[in-house]
Amino acid sequence: MAACIFCKIIKGEIPSMKLFESEKTLAFLDIGPLSFGHALVIPKHHGAKLTDIPDDQLSEVLHVTKKIATAVGAENYNILQNNGRLAHQEVDHVHFHYIPKPNKEEGLGISWPTQKVDKDKLQKLLEEVKAKM
């Protein structure tokens, strides 16, 4: 946690271009944006993955992300949250990206390689997940 760049931004040790701040949430412009207006929204509670953050600390993150999307006013945009290196997470502190997509060249590029799935295995997964929820 002491080396976490986002925790340092929260503490004011590293400057940021703050869009919003409350007791639980901080939002700021990304200094290495994929497009103009790219912003990050983070819970102030440190945790590497979404499942590490208590629900009460996540309560306003999506609300703030929506407020930023509305304020920036981009017609097309992505909301992105990654968990773990294989999922392209670079900073080990939960964060949500708001990324405007003004045209085909700027913003987030995505490849979505779908897979064939055995329906019986999918049904089994459905039952297992529902039982745990």
Strand partners, 27: 20, 41
- pLDDT tens-digit profile of 86-106? 999 999 999 999 999 999 999
Residue 2: pLDDT band by 50, 70, 90 thresholds?
confident
Residue of 46, 93, 95, 97 with catalytic role: 95
Residue 19: pLDDT band by 50, 70, 90 thresholds?
very high
Domain that holds residue 123: 5-132
Mean pLDDT of 74-97: 97
CATH code of residue 65: 3.30.428.10
Calculate the alpha carbon distances from 97 to 10, 21, 62, 104 in Å.
17, 16, 11, 18
Task: Identify whether 46 is a catalytic site residue.
Answer: no
Mean pLDDT of 3-17: 97
> How many domains are there within the chain?
1
Tokens for 11, please give them: 């503490």
Decide: pTM greater than 0.95: no
d(CA 79, CA 69): 9
d(CA 109, CA 103): 11
Tokens for 23, please give them: 């007791």
Residue 111: pLDDT band by 50, 70, 90 thresholds?
confident
Mean pLDDT estimate for the chain: 96
